Amino acid sequence: MAAIKEVSYLRLPKEDNPFLGIRGVRLCFEHPELFIPQLRAIYRAAAYGSASIMFPMIATMEDWEKAFAITEQVRQELDAPAIPIGIMVEVPSAVMLARHLAREIAFFSIGTNDLTQYVMAMDRGHPQLAKQADSLHPAVLQMVSQTVQAASQEGKWVGVCGGLASDNLGASILTGLGVKELSVSIPSIASIKAHIRSSSLQAMQDLARRALQCRTSSEVRSL
């Protein structure tokens, strides 16, 4: 919400640059009347099955610490058991802080769509720039690799959601980089599963290493 997604029950002011404005966890902080009931609902639902919490658009350690503090207060008020809490990695600052964040979170989920546009400084919805905002650009892949390495050092896992995970080449490279979970579009599930199963882990790791050595997304796509 607050960038390209609007909801009828929440009136948000217009922003000159909504992608750099009040969205993700910032919106949660601005509207605790929405955030806290959602946290309560998650903890109550967790009593009947597996549940996790994932905070979007974490950009600073302060973002994480504030979100966790609110969540922990809710958990204690409900006397609920702890559940895994992770974050979305969607902005470059989160990647740069990944080694610190990895010590405190349960998992990372990299949102490649937003990460790509923030790394490349290109609006993925812009008619002239969208094609250049390629998640297979080596700069984006380096960000993924750095996040995975930071998580691995702390024994944490990394997932990826976004268009890159639904691309055969992208899925292979992500798996080779050490990503443990891919969130793909429903129509792509069967083909991505078949593609991954038809490749050896060693081959995908070799592919990922070569991709990181590339200079352009075109070079990556030609592998």
Best CA proximity match to 28, nearest among 39, 19, 18: 39
Which alpha helices (H) appear in 57-200, and where do they start and end?
61-78, 92-96, 98-101, 112-120, 138-153, 168-177, 189-197
Predicted confidence at residue 188, as pLDDT, reads 93
> Which amino acid is located at 70 in the chain?
I
Q: At 32, is the secondary structure helix, strand, or coil?
A: helix
Interatomic CA distance for residues 115 and 95, integer angstroms: 10
The domain covering 84-223 belongs, at the CATH homologous superfamily level, to: Phosphoenolpyruvate-binding domains (3.20.20.60)
pLDDT band at 17 (very low <50, low <70, confident <90, very high): confident
Indicate whether 16 pLDDT > 80.
Answer: no
Best CA proximity match to 150, nearest among 100, 85, 89, 93: 100
Mean pLDDT of 146-151: 99
Mean pLDDT of 175-187: 96
DSSP 81: P
CA geometry: angle 57, 112, 177, nearest 5 deg = 120
Question: Tell me: the pLDDT tens digits for 100-140?
Answer: 999 999 999 999 999 999 999 988 788 888 788 899 999 99
CA distances 164 to 78, 89, 150, 168, Å, are: 38, 14, 21, 8
Exposed e or buried b for every residue in 82-96, given b needs 16+ CB within 10 A? ebebbbbbbbbebbe
Task: Give the rounded percent of residues in the chain with a pLDDT score beyond 70.
Answer: 93
Predicted confidence at residue 125, as pLDDT, reads 80
Which helix (H) or strand (E) element contains residue 105?
none
Indicate whether 12 pLDDT > 90.
Answer: no
Q: Give every CB contact of residue 169 below 8 A, 6+ residues apart in sequence.
A: 136, 220, 221, 223
What residue segments make up the domains of the chain, in order of their start? 23-80, 84-223
Predicted confidence at residue 201, as pLDDT, reads 97
3-state secondary structure 191-218: HHHHHHHCCCHHHHHHHHHHHHHCCCHH
Predicted confidence at residue 141, as pLDDT, reads 98
pLDDT band at 21 (very low <50, low <70, confident <90, very high): confident
Mean pLDDT, the chain, rounded, equals 93
Best CA proximity match to 214, nearest among 156, 118, 145: 145
Predicted confidence at residue 189, as pLDDT, reads 95
pLDDT band at 216 (very low <50, low <70, confident <90, very high): very high
Interatomic CA distance for residues 2 and 31, integer angstroms: 12
Indicate whether 59 pLDDT > 90.
Answer: yes
Indicate whether 15 pLDDT > 50.
Answer: yes
Predicted confidence at residue 7, as pLDDT, reads 64
The answer to whether 221 touches 136, Cβ cutoff 8 Å, is yes
28-32, 146-150, 208-212: lowest mean pLDDT where? 28-32
Structure tokens at 202: 């060693």
The residue with greater pLDDT, 158 or 129, is: 158
Question: Tell me: the pLDDT tens digits for 39-54?
Answer: 999 999 999 999 999 9
